Amino acid sequence: MNRFASNRPWAKVSSRVRMVALAATAALALAACNQTDSEAARRANKPLTPEMVSLISQKDMSPASPMLVRIFKQEAELEVWKATSDGSYALLKTYPICRWSGELGPKVRVGDRQAPEGFYTITPGQMNPNSNYYLSFNLGFPNAFDRSYGRTGEFLMVHGDCSSAGCYAMTDEQISEIFSLARESFAGGQRAFQVQAYPFRMTPKNLARHRNNPNMAFWRNLKQGYDHFEVTKQEPKVNVCGRAYVFDAEALPGRGFDANASCPPYQVPPQVASAVAEKQRSDDAQVAALTPSAPLAPVRTNADGGMHPVFLAKLKERESGQMSFAAAPGTLPEYVNPPKMTPEKVALDNETAVAQVSPANIAGSVPAATAQPKGAPVPPVRPAAAQPSGSSAPARSDKSAAVAAKPATVASAASLMPSGTLPGAASSMPTSSFSQ
């Protein structure tokens, strides 16, 4: 039993909360079904594969249990965590990221091509079945922390199509599965899921390597939230005050948190504060020991982001015409704009690869329905649309703004939810879905 799990047990969801969640997912269903292209409805309503349902069961989870996402830029990996039967979170699956743009560091302004870093909250209204990038969800940038620094930008997504201009781009198959996992969690009563976006895994080795980066103070603040999750395996409660994130903090009665004002007196549960402090002392000691010998990571690579090695390998295969037995977790589009392999980028990747899972192992974790045994096939070319500012790769604009601006009218959740399981779904699948 996780000693921190009782703080915020997910299982105690009232029937009213569940009804609100079902109404929200039903509204999203109508947003997909009301468009002329029924393909979007099919994508949004795709059931979890039997392989994924089995994996969820093996890990003592339920499709309806809450989820949480962690993103690591340098490693180009996205993790999906879900709550287990005791209320603590466990890792469900790690997805290699097909493309992210910019450098390590936060997004600051419109057009800087930076993918956001920080803590973001995703509600059903931010899920976009109408995306021109197959499927997507809006990160909600800028959040309160970002706004306190005057940072600007909009429509920063996690989406498909492996094309990024400030987003985290997956393959279509990957975003389809992630979208379905979120749908089931919302239907199970989760009002919103948290995305934690980091520059890299917050290990002592990485902190030592990046010690001269001007973003280190910001990253140290992110690490506090990282540590809270690592020691509690609970979604950290996030607030902003004094232009900094605070985690699992409860303000004294009559006081509140204001991103632009000094932090009020607050307290963190003693058990959590003690465990986090112990971890931080251990990590700081390791950073100090590593600093004299750890090679400095470049502040800038000028590579315009990154791509997981498994996808870089597939691009090299495509260029050379040679095929390998390594499978890619999804289909690469015909046009992909890979990062520039500058000397700084190569050096950073070589260091990162030492601690990273091999492409073959990652491909092996992909359900059989999506694994590609002989290289990534090229799909038909999709209609081109407007080019995002600053992008050099063919791309299309996203329609999340339109979805948010035109919410569907919901008469009642009960009248919109299907009475049986989805066609083709496993018998253990929840009956709620994005269908009319």
Q: Is 162 a catalytic residue?
A: no
Q: Is 228 a catalytic residue?
A: no
Beta strands 127-128 and 118-122, pairing class = unpaired
The residue ranges of every structural domain in the chain are 9-200+302-416
Strands (E), 139-188: 157-159, 168-169
**Of the candidates 300, 295, 357, 373, the residue with the CA atom closest to the CA atom of residue 76:** 357
Give dist(CA 91, CA 80) in Å, integer: 6
User: Which residue of the set 98, 159, 241, 308 is catalytic?
Assistant: 159
Using an 8 Å Cβ cutoff, are 201 and 138 in contact? no
Name which of 150-159, 203-212, 275-284, 370-379 the model is least confident about: 370-379
pTM, full prediction = 0.77
Q: Using 50, 70 and 90 to split pLDDT, how confident is the model at 349?
A: confident
Query: Does 370 have pLDDT greater than 90?
Result: no
Q: Using 50, 70 and 90 to split pLDDT, how confident is the model at 405?
A: very low
* 268 or 321, greater pLDDT: 268
* 398 or 286, greater pLDDT: 286
**Distances in whole angstroms, Cα of residue 229 to Cα of each of 1, 12, 25:** 16, 20, 27
The pLDDT, as a whole number, for residue 111 is: 95
Using an 8 Å Cβ cutoff, are 295 and 351 in contact? yes
| Each residue's pLDDT tens digit, 60-91 | 999 999 999 999 999 999 999 999 999 999 99
| Each residue's pLDDT tens digit, 240-298 | 999 999 999 999 999 999 999 999 999 999 999 999 999 999 999 999 999 999 999 99
Q: H or E segment at 430? A: none
- Which residues sit opposite 157 in a β-bridge? 138
Query: Does 306 have pLDDT greater than 90?
Result: yes
Strands (E), 88-243: 89-96, 99-100, 118-122, 127-128, 136-138, 157-159, 168-169, 193-198, 238-241
Query: Does 361 have pLDDT greater than 90?
Result: no
Query: Does 379 have pLDDT greater than 50?
Result: no
Query: Does 180 have pLDDT greater than 80?
Result: yes
Q: How many CB atoms lie within 10 A of CB 191?
A: 15
Name which of 51-65, 166-180, 382-396, 401-415 the model is least confident about: 401-415
The pLDDT, as a whole number, for residue 334 is: 85
Q: Using 50, 70 and 90 to split pLDDT, how confident is the model at 343?
A: confident
What are the two backbone dihedrals, phi and then psi, of residue 21, each rounded to the nearest 5 degrees? -65, -40
Using an 8 Å Cβ cutoff, are 83 and 89 in contact? yes
Give dist(CA 123, CA 247) in Å, integer: 20
* 325 or 85, greater pLDDT: 85
The pLDDT, as a whole number, for residue 247 is: 99
Name which of 80-84, 128-132, 373-377 the model is least confident about: 373-377
Distance of CA 262 to the CA centre of its chain: 30
Q: Which class is 9-200+302-416 in CATH? A: mainly beta
Query: Does 397 have pLDDT greater than 90?
Result: no
Query: Does 328 have pLDDT greater than 90?
Result: no
Using an 8 Å Cβ cutoff, are 123 and 174 in contact? no
Query: Which residues, at least 6 apart from 386, have a Cβ–Cβ distance to it below 8 Å?
Result: 396, 397
User: Which residue of the set 167, 210, 241, 308 is catalytic?
Assistant: 167
Query: Does 151 have pLDDT greater than 70?
Result: yes
Within 13 A of 138's CA, how many CA atoms are on the CB side?
Answer: 23
Give 47-64 as a DSSP string: PPPHHHHHHHHHTTB-TT
| Mean pLDDT of the residues in the chain | 80
Name which of 4-8, 84-88, 315-319, 396-400 the model is least confident about: 396-400
DSSP reduced 3-state for 239: strand
The pLDDT, as a whole number, for residue 326 is: 61
